[in-house]
C-alpha cells in the first residue's frame, strides 16, 4: 500500500512518498496527499524522496505525477526518486524535462536520503 508522510532523517525533514510495488492508478491518491502535505511548507523548503521500487506506471498515474510536480514546484528545494528501472527512469526524465523540476535519481532510498541530507547541509551553510 502506498503512502506519504513527513519523516526525519539525521535532523532534516523529508516528505517521503512510498509507492513501492504499486500498479498504476493505485498510487494516485498518494500523490493527492503529497500535494496537501507539501502545501503546508514555505516556498523553496521541501526536501522530498519518492521510493518507486517495482512500481508500475500507467497514463493516469503519470498524469497525476506531472500535476503534482508542477503544483509542488514553488515549494520544492530538492527531490530524489529511488528504485526506478531503466524504462521508468526514461519516463521520469521526460517528466523532469517537461516540468523544469530538479530531481536526482538513485538506486536506493538510503542513497537518496543521504544526498538530501548533504544537499541541505551545503545549502544552509551547516558543515555536515
Q: Please name each of the domains of the chain with its CATH number.
A: 3-124 (3.30.750.24)
Give the SS3 label for residue 4: strand
Q: In this predicted model, what pLDDT tens digit does every residue of 24-79 receive, in sequence order?
A: 899 999 999 999 999 999 999 999 999 999 999 999 998 999 899 999 999 999 99
Q: What is the pTM of this model?
A: 0.90
Over residues 99-110, the pLDDT tens digits come to: 777 789 999 999
Distances (CA, A) of 5 to 33, 37, 58: 9, 8, 23
Amino acid at each position: 500500500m502506498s503512502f506519504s508522510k513527513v519523516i526525519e532523517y539525521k535532523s532534516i525533514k523529508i516528505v517521503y512518498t512510498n509507492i513501492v510495488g504499486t500498479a498504476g492508478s493505485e498510487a494516485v491518491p498518494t500523490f493527492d496527499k503529497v500535494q496537501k502535505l507539501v502545501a503546508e511548507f514555505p516556498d523553496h523548503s521541501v526536501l522530498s524522496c519518492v521510493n518507486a521500487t517495482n512500481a508500475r506506471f500507467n497514463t493516469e498515474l503519470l498524469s497525476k505525477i506531472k500535476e503534482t510536480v508542477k503544483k509542488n514546484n514553488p515549494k520544492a528545494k530538492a527531490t530524489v526518486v529511488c528504485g526506478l528501472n531503466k524504462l521508468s527512469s526514461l519516463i521520469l526524465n521526460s517528466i523532469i524535462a517537461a516540468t523544469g523540476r530538479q530531481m536526482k535519481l538513485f538506486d536506493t532510498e538510503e542513497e537518496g536520503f543521504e544526498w538530501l541530507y548533504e544537499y541541505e547541509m551545503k545549502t544552509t551553510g551547516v558543515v555536515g
